[in-house]
Chain A
């Protein structure tokens, strides 16, 4: 059965278009219909042929036989009457019937000769004709005169012979009549049965043809249409579930379904090469350590990851569709509106915005909020991708560290203050003797001038050393004093101009070039302009002093984005000999100097001023030679912007 089915499938395989396949289905149905129609036609024509034989042979024979029998009975009756009564008239009447009977027998013989199957009947009719001819010739003669019947034994025997003859004829005619009648009845009965059988046969045949056509059409359609479409459906399902898709079997170029499957497979292959699977993306989102929120253009939550749900404590259905502003704490709402929402509305990204998110329990969680705009093909805002990192713990840690740092700074400041006070006290105490020494040295120098050159030179050296010691004491007094910051609003250019003006003479004297690169866009700064100018000028002066004549000192100012905020960075590069690496660590310590005649308080004062501004200062050697000093300060001191304040 399976082999037959396979052969059938091979036979039914149509390598062509859908139209050809549909036509093939219709052809199968039409062939079935044709077979049923031909069978019905053949059956009906056979029945018509049998009914025609019944009409032209069986019925006429039966009718003629019946008529012959009736006439013969009438004839016999008349002969009998004539025999019993001696009426010659009856004999004459009977004799007239003989020709009719002979004609009927001839007609029967002629009809029966038309059908070879009536051979037996034809022979019987022929025999009846011969016997009847013998009978009627003898009867016509004998029955005319039977007066001597009782006396003539010969006549009695003749009559007896006639009697036997007519009895035989009568019996044979009756048998023939019954036979032909039964024959007609049998044929009618047979036709009835045949009609019933034919009806059943045609019904079964139609059913068989219908089932066969349906089966073949189903097999054909299944193999040619359903299976290929099912393969495509499976390919689509597999593709949707990111399963491996097998290539479709090779087919005809005219087969649209195969072409569709091939095109789909090719498309999936291209997509596999160019697209990241959805599972992969979902996996990334799921395993993100940050909170991911996708906002609609109206800034409502349209998608979130598990971390966001867990952080806020809401169910997904409670979050989706809600405006994000609902979850921003009141303290940071204004910041979020100004630096978040408004930037996003302008299509700008938001990065590292420190805001507070409110959980379901109304607990505030500090997060670093970043967002970027996703646009559609028309350039319209399609969605906003937001990432929030919980920095609550880090803020706590930073707060602790900041407190420790403050405590350390306070302790250091207190120590420095104590040292400063001591140093100021000593310096102050040394000032008067030093002034006396300086005045005496000047007087000695004036007294011996022109008389004793050696003493004059020694007096000159004592005077200069006294001046140097006085400057050192002044610097020491200055360093030892605590600073009071006079915060004001300024710009980088003002700061740089002030610093350069302060060291202009040194620059000219050393014949060093200054190159200034200001990349701060004149952003507003809040700091102590005088002190910061002093710190910056110290660094520039240091660079100028170590630079050979004709070289360039490059000063760069720009903002840098650190983890939580931006800072202002000054870089001063010189082409000097660089710094001894072993001494870099001590470079900003008080009284440490590498320059002949230096007090060791210049860079220490720079660090003091910078640290008072919350900044840092560092130094390093450049690979190409020379030294690099970096000074970073927050662009705005923590005090409220716009108002000048004093910070001690």
Chain B
């Protein structure tokens, strides 16, 4: 009677130790295809999405597009920006309240994000890894 319990416990431990990332949503940062930027440092990417860096290296104005798809948005804010989605929202409201900036453009899903980025040369957004296609260019994060 005890053996089946051990077995179940071992299975549970096994299952808990598995890498579920492959299965969970995984974001990538995308820009317009013509954007020369190929890769960004983590800090650089973090500054861009927190409104602290406003221009590309060619001095063009950066247009932020926030993908509010729940899974991607949450993963993106927690992993890259190290904030919760609520905290990020309050962060941007404070920026807005202080008058130092306005809220970034928000889109509902990956497709909308890709479309907007594809249409705007200086835009940057994040989408699910699996949603990447020819419309946009992935930027590696180092």
Contact = CB atoms under 8 A, between A and B. Distances in A.
Interface residues of A, number: 18
A443 B106 CA distance: 229
A164 B103 contact: no
A163 B96 contact: yes
Interface string B83-113: 0000000100110111111110010000000
Contact of A167 (B96, B98, B106): B98
B30 to A, nearest CB: 23
Contacts of A159: 96-97, 99, 102
Nearest to A170: B98
A160 B101 contact: yes
Contact of A80 (B97, B100, B101, B106): B97
A166 interface: yes
A156 B99 contact: no
A403 B42 CA distance: 166
A156 B90 contact: no
Interface residues of B, number: 12
Contact of B97 (A150, A157, A163): A163
A83 B106 CA distance: 19
A166 B97 CA distance: 9
A263 B101 CA distance: 109
Given A83-B93, A84-B90, A153 B102 contact: yes
Contacts of B101: 160
Interface in B51-77: none
A102 interface: no
B99 A150 contact: no
B99 A161 contact: yes
Interface of B: 90, 93-94, 96-103, 106
Given A80-B97, A84-B90, A149-B96, A157 B102 contact: yes
B93 A149 contact: yes
B90, B96, B100: residue with the most chain A Cβ atoms closer than 10 Å? B96
Contacts of A162: 97, 99
Contacts of A165: 99
Nearest to B92: A150
B96 A156 contact: yes
Contacts of A163: 96-100
Contacts, number: 43
Nearest to B98: A163
Interface string A459-501: 0000000000000000000000000000000000000000000
Given A83-B93, A84-B90, A149-B93, A160 B106 contact: no
A167 B96 CA distance: 12
B102 A83 contact: no
A156 B90 CA distance: 14
B87 to A, nearest CB: 12
Nearest to A143: B97
Contacts of A167: 98-100
Contacts of B96: 149, 156, 159-160, 163
Contacts of B103: 149-150, 156
Interface string A76-100: 0001100110000000000000000
Contacts of A79: 97
Nearest to B101: A160
15 contacts: A83-B93, A84-B90, A84-B94, A149-B93, A149-B103, A150-B106, A153-B102, A156-B102, A159-B99, A159-B102, A160-B96, A160-B100, A160-B102, A161-B99, A163-B96
Nearest to A168: B99
A623 to B, nearest CB: 160
Nearest to B93: A84
A259 B100 CA distance: 100
B105 to A, nearest CB: 9
Given A157-B102, A159-B97, A163-B98, 10 more contacts: A84-B93, A84-B94, A84-B97, A149-B103, A150-B106, A156-B103, A159-B96, A160-B100, A165-B99, A167-B99
Contacts of B93: 83-84, 149
Interface in A124-169: 149-150, 153, 156-157, 159-167
Contacts of B97: 79-80, 83-84, 159, 162-163
A439 B1 CA distance: 247
B99 A164 contact: yes
Return the 4 tightest CB-CB contacts between A and B, nearest first: A163-B99, A164-B99, A156-B102, A163-B98
